[in-house]
A and B are shown apart, each in its own frame.
Chain A
Amino acid sequence: MGIRFILLVNKQGQTRLAQYYEYLTLEQRRALEGEIVRKCLARTEQQCSFVEHRNYKVVYRRYASLFFLVGVDNDENELAILEFIHLLVETMDRHFGNVCELDIMFHLEKAHFMLEEMVMNGCIVETSKQNILTPIQLMDKAS
């Protein structure tokens, strides 16, 4: 299992999406999110995109006002995770059309569906944007 959690956080440090692939209690999650967000948001652009925190390595990338934080095991390929974040953003972009924070807030369940199609149990399932989006588009048509 490579990916332990995926967090989307805005500039103010508010969580916009959280998906964990391991069990943490509510309190642990809150504490972890607080610590990591504080750490990552304080970093400057010159600094690298990897932060070691507790036993995780957090790979983060900023898109406008949104931070994408992915917690991974220590032996995970950090560069690949960066690429994965980009793939996630591109997929959301294709679906929402120029995705922004509000799209994710108001369509939280769709964001989750996309993530579900991309990652399962901490492993990458699918890397083709078309394959990821097909079920979601089907559902949109049905409803």
Chain B
Amino acid sequence: MNPFSSGTRLRDMIRAIRACKTAAEERAVVRKECAAIRAAVSENDQDYRHRNLAKLMFIHMLGYPTHFGQMECLKLIASSGFPEKRIGYLGLMLLLDERQEVLMLVTNSLKQDLNHSNQYIVGLALCALGNICSAEMARDLAPEVERLLQFRDPNIRKKAALCSIRIIKKVPDLAENFISPAAALLKEKHHGVLITGVQLCTDLCKISTEALEYFRKRCTESLVKVLRDAVNSPYAPEYDIAGITDPFLHIRLLKLLRVLGQGDADASDCMNDILAQVATKTESNKNAGNAILYECVETIMSIEENSGLRVLAINILGRFLSNRDNNIRYVALNMLMKAVLVDAQAVQRHRATILECVKMIVLMSWKSLHGIGRARCSKNTSYNFIHTSPQQKHHSLLKVHFFNGKRPNNSEKHYKSHLEKYKDSDASIKKRALELVFLLVNDSNVKPLTKELIDYLEVSDQEFKGDLTAKICSIVEKFSPEKVWYIDQMLKVLTEAGNFVKDEVWHGLIVVISNASDLHGYTVRSLYRAFQISSEQEILVRVVVWCIGEYGEMLVNGIGMLDKEDPITVTESDAVDVVEIAIKRHTSDITTRAMCLVALLKLSSRFPSCSARIKEIINQHKGNLVLELQQRSIEFNSIIEKHQNIRSSLVERMPVLDEATYSGRRAGSLPTTVSTSKGASLNLPNGVAKPAAAPLVDLLDLSSDDTPAPSSSGGDFLQDLLGVDLALPSLSGTSQAPSSGADMLLDLLSIGTPPVQNNVSTADILSSGTDTKKPVVPLERLSSLSSPLPTQVSSAGASPVMDLLDGLTPNLSTPGDNGPVYPSTVAFQSSSLKIMFNFSKQPGNPQTTSIQATFTNMSSNAYTDFIFQAAVPKFVQLHLDPASSNTLPASGSGSVTQSLHVTNSQHGQKPLAMRIRIAYKVNGQDVLEQGQVNNFPAGL
């Protein structure tokens, strides 16, 4: 028989579809069938209507459009036979939805069928109505449904109850009509009616507070009784699941009790006993029992507090956690996380037990390693969690292993096979468990917990390491009791999973190291050791290189030795070896290599004996294909060769980085004033006092978290310190000068302010560094920040000087001496265009600043259609006046000015920032330039 003829049977069509090898073949079969069905529809074929609709449902399930069958459904529903009606209603529910106009036509048939003498037909109509009824139908048919709630056959009553839910959801106004019939359903014995009645009450409570009050007052006690009967009911084979009679009914009842008990002490009181009974008596060795326990726990945690019950609930969850079934663990973790939010204290009281369990989960692979977990963890379900139990002894056994720190002496192969087994243990469970550990950490348990987590890091699978690392880092940062511990833990993490550590975390580490002056030696030696073990972790290498660059001599001389340290002997050349290995590793990226170059420069002055070798290494990068590295190596080389006399002061240790500012920055808000620590100077061993310059924080603030608005200096650690900003050199508004030794120096030096009380000023270094041989810039002048400075260092050109000013301005504009006068800045400069900003403020209105922008054309072609646009963060208002002209003459022979008025609503809290865009035409061609202005003087 040809399967594609119009007379195909349903079975044949399904076979034909199943036989299709490709999606295209399937489409062809379906197309033919649909054509046949359409033909049958237009011929008004009575005999096969029923079969055609069954086919359509199959086609619909496969995901093909079947709208042409909708009318057929209606015709079948209107026919008199039960089988036709049945398939018609099924089609109605599957093929139609409440949004279709056709549905209106069915209302009348539904009404007739709801009043039909055959109760099965009434059941069909109720079912269809319950699934697809629209608001209009709900209004029309609500009286019928209400009447059917009292129908003699319970099978109709249960369907009418669910149909009512649909109706009250569509038309909440009708809810009050259903309250007392719903309450009547709760007295039924038939499980189907009970379960749907309870469901109806629950939904009524959600919709109407009146219903909630009604059920709370009148039904709480009877519901408790229903639940008690259900719990104590004798064996009923029809409803029995794993020895429990109708767990679904239990669960619905517990849900309704939860709604009633929430926020009402009396109702909660009333249900305490039965909840305790369910929590203690329910069998927990089968899924059905656990489902009830789970629901019971949720109810206990939601109703008004009863500490005894809550202990019970948390105990159940603890037991769940140690269950071997992943599903049970999953719900337990979910619930505990909810519980922490509801009643943190109750959970905290059981923190120890919960932590043990969660650790078991997170540390699954460890458990398998020891091979003892499985035997112990088997069906041991009935023990009480709070008390000491064999299981806890097992935990402590586990601990012994942890604290020995080493893997057991099983063969490596054995170890791996176990690992494989647990590799694909559920990631979502581990993630949740970790999340929960994180919520439960506090000052007293942070140390042992971190230790175990770090131990686990070693064996966890790759996908999980990222999450785990982030969590460990955040725990360590948040709860660290002392700096040396923090540094130790971070080093461990870096050694184990350095590649997963986020930028802000290792920047934070460097800030802390920089501040812990008594630990510099210890840190650099630990890092040196760590590097010997795991040199493949990029981030670890960066920190190692930075610290060796800064504190290399402490590594060699063993300065600041702690008691717990083992002495090591490191020669100067060993230290240089580390940096050399790092820079030559081909997996190192530009950032790391650039850091290596800076470290080498620093070491060249600290280790004179290695100077020649360092020069050699630096020279090897002269031909580097990356412009930045090439430039650095050439510049550094010339410093080493030609500027011996100033080198040592050039590469002095970085000033201490300001922790408060850094953490404030990380928290996403800028400190109120950048210049916080004017007087706080730190005496370094070499006797040179350095200011603890707050703006340095900018150096460590990588642009990874740069929100455009608050960033006052666009300060990217690498951008500012190393200038490795390869992508957008013209946008930063800094460092535009041609590559020269001076440029590098300026970058290095744009980090601090010359301390007023110090006789070795940065400016001093600068002037000698650029070989201008000019007299030292008077400090008074610097601090008053007048413009003569550029003329003093004339050979360096304007832009590097602006660089210097960038670094200086925030500190110099102290409240005492700045007044309303602000220095003008180069807001933007490219090879073709330069924009100067002049600032003025009206007295008495500190929020508003008038900016006079001056545009100068540096190229040899005139610009036409010149348009300047600016954008500011939300807290700033900007008003742009028209420009003086839209044509910019060539070669700086004229300029255009434009006034901007900005109002900083967070004046004194957040600095100004601005994004600018300049569009113009050169020789008829459109040019677009854009950039960010971050170098506004402080206080605007």
Contact = CB atoms under 8 A, between A and B. Distances in A.
Contacts of A124: 195, 199, 248, 252
B290 A79 contact: yes
B726 interface: no
A142 B424 contact: no
A126 to B, nearest CB: 4
A83 B162 contact: no
A11 B291 CA distance: 28
Interface stretch (B106-114, B323-331, B491-499, B649-657): B323-331
Contacts of B328: 79
Given A121-B165, A124-B195, A127-B249, A105 B14 contact: yes
Contacts of B422: 46
B165 A143 contact: no
B82 A48 contact: no
Given A47-B424, A128-B191, A80 B162 contact: no
Contacts of A123: 162, 165, 196, 199
Given A46-B424, A113-B86, A128-B239, A120 B162 contact: yes
B875 to A, nearest CB: 34
Most buried by B among A120, A131, A143: A120
A102 to B, nearest CB: 9
B817 interface: no
B341 to A, nearest CB: 14
A98 interface: no
A108 interface: yes
Interface in A113-143: 113, 116, 120-121, 123-131, 135, 138-139, 142-143
Contacts of A120: 127, 130-131, 159, 162-163
Interface string A18-49: 11010100100110010000000000101111
Contact of A139 (B61, B83, B98): B83
A79 B294 contact: yes
A48 B155 contact: no
A79 B331 contact: yes
Nearest to A18: B61
A48 B294 contact: no
Contacts of B99: 23
B324 to A, nearest CB: 11
B369 to A, nearest CB: 17
Contacts of A142: 82-83
Contact of A113 (B62, B90, B192): B90
B247 A131 contact: no
A44 B290 CA distance: 23
A87 interface: yes
A23 B94 CA distance: 10
Contact of B326 (A47, A131, A143): A47
| Overall SS of chain B's interface | helix
A16 B14 CA distance: 11
A82 interface: yes
A109 interface: yes
B238 A125 contact: no
B326 A108 contact: no
A71 B196 CA distance: 20
A142 B83 CA distance: 9
A87 B288 CA distance: 11
B191 A127 contact: yes
Interface string B802-813: 000000000000
A133 to B, nearest CB: 11
Given A44-B424, A48-B429, 7 more contacts: A33-B63, A51-B428, A79-B327, A123-B199, A125-B159, A126-B155, A139-B86
Interface of B: 10-11, 14, 18, 54, 57-58, 61-65, 82-83, 86-87, 90, 93-94, 97-99, 120, 123, 127, 130-131, 155, 158-159, 162-163, 165-166, 169, 191-192, 195-196, 199, 238-239, 241, 246-249, 251-252, 287-288, 290-291, 294-295, 298, 326-331, 422, 424-429
24 contacts: A23-B97, A26-B63, A46-B326, A48-B426, A48-B428, A79-B331, A80-B247, A82-B327, A83-B288, A83-B291, A106-B14, A112-B90, A113-B86, A116-B93, A120-B130, A120-B162, A120-B163, A124-B195, A126-B192, A127-B239, A127-B248, A130-B238, A135-B120, A135-B123
Interface of A: 1, 15-19, 21, 23, 26, 29-30, 33, 44, 46-52, 77-80, 82-84, 87, 105-106, 108-109, 112-113, 116, 120-121, 123-131, 135, 138-139, 142-143
In the A-B complex, the 8 residue pairs with the closest CB atoms: A79-B291, A48-B326, A47-B426, A80-B291, A120-B162, A126-B192, A48-B330, A128-B238
